[in-house]
């Protein structure tokens, strides 16, 4: 089995399906919400394995979201400052997707 998701570095659509609780973690994660997201295609079908992303927009379970997968942007969006060990962040809650 290959890492379809880990190889992808572009923004992707995903559905929030849960969250992770962690006490012992990098200090820059303090106060952040670590959500489990399922990458999806525009039609809602699953597109690869779940990943974790830090929330920056108060997304909740069931929401369709946009996940950025570049460290600098993810860190800035979720903690307000670059330079944290964060590689994925939720940067938007999707209202609607329209595909021709």
Partner 1 sequence: MQLARVIGTVVATVKNDLLNGRKLLVIQPLDGRLNECGSPMVAIDSVGAGKGEVVFWCRGKEASFPFMPVEVPTDCTIIGIVDSVFIDSISQ
Nearer to partner 1, 21 or 100 (CB): 21
Residues that bind partner 1 (CB under 8 A): 1-3, 5-6, 15-26, 28-29, 34, 36, 38, 49-54, 61-62, 71, 74-75, 83-88
Closer residue to partner 1 in complex, CB, 2/43: 2
Cβ-Cβ contacts under 8 Å for 39 (sequence gap 6 or more): 5, 12, 13, 14, 46, 47, 48, 49, 50, 51, 67
What SS3 state is found at 76?
helix
Q: Which is nearer to partner 1, 84 or 91 (CB)?
A: 84
């Amino acid at each position: 089995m290959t890492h379809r998701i880990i190889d992808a570095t572009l923004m992707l659509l995903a559905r929030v399906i849960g969250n992770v609780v962690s006490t012992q973690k990098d200090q820059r994660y303090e106060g952040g919400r670590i959500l489990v997201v399922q990458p999806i295609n525009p039609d809602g079908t699953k597109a690869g394995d779940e990943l974790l992303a830090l929330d920056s927009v108060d997304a909740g379970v069931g929401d369709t979201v946009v996940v950025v997968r570049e460290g600098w942007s993810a860190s800035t969006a979720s903690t307000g400052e670059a330079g944290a060990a964060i590689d994925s962040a939720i940067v938007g809650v999707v209202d609607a997707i329209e595909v021709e």
